[in-house]
Structure 1
C-alpha cells in the first residue's frame, strides 16, 4: 500500500468516525422529564423539562402548546425527540391546564365563555388580547427560566409552537429579538378565515420580528393561508424564513392540523436542520 492509499483510507476512516459520533449525539437524551415550576407574575405555572445527556451548555427550546385539553400525545413525542437531538426542551402548561390547574383560567374556557355570552367576533378579539398579554407574558417568563438554567446556553434559545401556540410564538418573537429561531406548526389555521383581528395582529408581529421563522402546515390543515401569507410578508421585507406545506396527513382537516404529532418522521429532518443552522452557529 503506497502513501496515497494510506492517506485515502485515513480520510475515509475519519469521515466514518465523524458520522458515528454525530449519530451517537442524535440518540442521546433523557426520555424522562423533570417537573419544574415557572413563576409568571403572581402565578406559578407547571412545566416539564427534558435534558440531553452530557455537560452542556445546550441550546434550548420552549414549546407553546395548542388549545387541546389533552397534551399527552405531544409530551410523549416531542420532549424525548428534542432531547435526542441535543436540545433542552421545556413544555410549559398554559394557565389553568395540566400542571398549571389552579393558576388562572385556561384560555379555551375563556374563549368559549366569550363566544357564548357575546359572539364569535368578541371571542376573536379576546383571543388576540390573550395572545399579546397574559399568554405572551407567561412564555417570556418561561424563556427567562430556561436561560437561567446552568445547562442552557442563554444565547441559544428558540421557540416551537403548534396552533394557538404557533401564533403565540410569533408574538413572543416580536417582543424578544434575541431568540434564535421560531418553528410555527399550523399557527392560526383554525382562526385565520374568521378573524381579521388575528390576521392583522400576526402580520404586525412578523413585520416587527427579526427572528428566523419556519412556517409549517400539512396541505389538509384547516387553512394554509397563515403560513403562506406570513411567509410572503417576511419575504417582501427581506427577512429570513422558510415555508413548507407538507402533503396531506389522514383524511380530515383535524388530522392535517395535528401533523406535528401524527407524522413527525416527515418534518424531523427539516426542522432540526433549520434549528441547527440558526442555533448552533
Structure 2
C-alpha cells in the first residue's frame, strides 16, 4: 500500500503577474526535509481533468476551444483511458503522483493560454515557468538548489526553453518535444504542427537555437516511430547541445509514436529516475520503488540510449 502524495490547488505567478492554476504535490509523511522539486509541464492538448480541475477557470475557455472541451469529455467517458489508484487519474496527474511517491515535490501548472492569458508558442510559457521555479524554490520543504523541469510534446519544448532562461534549473527532461519549428514545418507541412498561431516566428521558440544557453544536463526521450514530432527533432537537439559542450543523453524508444506519450515516459522510467537522481540528488523520502506496480501499466516497449 502506498502512502500517496499530498496535493493542493495553488495559484502560481507568471512572468507578468498573471496567476496560473496549478497543483502542488508533496510526498506524504516525509517530515521537514528539503527535497528536490520538479515543474511538470503538459503538452498542447492537456487532459480534460488537468484543464477543467480549476473552478476559477475563465468561462471563455469553453467558447474559444469547444472542440478541445468535447475531446476532454469524450476522454473522460472512456474507461480505457483512466488510471485507477483509488480515483480516476489521467495524464500528468499520475506522473506527478508517482514522482511525489519517489520523494519529489512536484508542481503541475496549467500553462498560459490554457490556465489564463493568451496562447503563446513557448516564449511566454517558458518565461512563466522561470517565474514558477522561483516561487517553487521559496516553498517550505523544497531545496532551491535541486529543481528540475520536465514535459512532453509542447511541454518538452517549453522545458528546454526554460532551461535556457533559468539559472536554477539543474535537470531537464523533454520527451517527444519539438526542438526546431523551422525543420518541423518543412518536414510535415501537411500536419497541423506547428499550430497556425505559431508560424509567424518559427525561430525564436525553437530550443535548438538556444542550445548554447542551456547549462543544465538534458535527457531527451523520443519515440522512434513518432510521426508528429519526428525523431530527427531530438537528434538535432542532441547535436546542438553537444556542439555547445552541453551535457545531453538521447533515449530512443523503439516503436513508440507521439500518441504513446504516457507509455513513452513509463518505458523510460528507469533512465529518467537515474538521470534525475544523478543531477538533483536522491530524495530522502521514497515511498515506492516500482512505477509500474503503482500504475498497472502494460509492459514497456524496447528502448535504447546513446
Q: 1:193 aligns with which of 171, 176, 184?
A: 184
Q: Which residue of 2 aligns with 1:212?
A: 217
Q: Which residue of 2 aligns with 1:38?
A: 12
| C-alpha spacing 1:71/1:169, structure 2 compared with 1 (3 Å) | farther
| C-alpha spacing 1:80/1:243, structure 2 compared with 1 (3 Å) | same
Q: Which residue of 1 aligns with 2:258?
A: 257
SS at match of 1:94: coil
Give the Cα separation in 2 of the matches to 1:201 and 1:96: 18
For the Cα contact (< 8 Å) 2:220–2:234, is it kept in 1? Answer: yes
Give the Cα separation in 1 of the matches to 2:206 and 2:179: 14
The answer as to 2:267 corresponding to 1:277 is no
Corresponding pairs, count:
222
| C-alpha spacing 1:200/1:76, structure 2 compared with 1 (3 Å) | closer
Q: 1:51 aligns with which of 26, 36, 55?
A: 26
The answer as to 2:75 corresponding to 1:68 is no
The answer as to 2:145 corresponding to 1:155 is yes
Query: Which structure 2 residue ranges, 5 or more long, are not aligned?
Result: 50-89, 187-200, 283-306
For the Cα contact (< 8 Å) 1:173–1:209, is it kept in 2? Answer: yes
TM-score (norm 1): 0.72
Bigger fraction of residues in helix: 1
For the Cα contact (< 8 Å) 1:181–1:278, is it kept in 2? Answer: yes
Q: 2:164 aligns with which of 170, 174, 187?
A: 174
The answer as to 2:261 corresponding to 1:248 is no
SS at match of 1:50: strand
For the Cα contact (< 8 Å) 2:171–2:217, is it kept in 1? Answer: yes
Give the Cα separation in 1 of the matches to 2:43 and 2:273: 21
Query: Which structure 1 residue ranges, 5 or more long, are not aligned?
Result: 1-23, 108-126, 250-255
| C-alpha spacing 1:96/1:174, structure 2 compared with 1 (3 Å) | closer
Q: 2:95 aligns with which of 63, 71, 78?
A: 78
SS at match of 2:202: helix
For the Cα contact (< 8 Å) 1:51–1:88, is it kept in 2? Answer: yes
Give the Cα separation in 1 of the matches to 2:217 and 2:39: 15
Q: C-alpha deviations, 1:36-65, integer Å up to 9, x for none?
A: 111222311100111013022110000121
1:182 offset after TM fit, Å?
A: 0.1
Q: C-alpha deviations, 1:230-271, integer Å up to 9, x for none?
A: 11122233321100110113xxxxxx1133313443111110
TM-score (norm 2): 0.66
SS at match of 1:160: strand
Q: C-alpha deviations, 1:89-146, integer Å up to 9, x for none?
A: 111101242xx2xx21344xxxxxxxxxxxxxxxxxxx3xxx22x2122111211111
Give the Cα separation in 2 of the matches to 1:198 and 1:149: 35
Provide the aligned C-alpha RMSD in A: 2.4
SS at match of 1:48: strand
For the Cα contact (< 8 Å) 1:62–1:89, is it kept in 2? Answer: yes
SS at match of 2:159: helix
Give the Cα separation in 2 of the matches to 1:51 and 1:105: 30
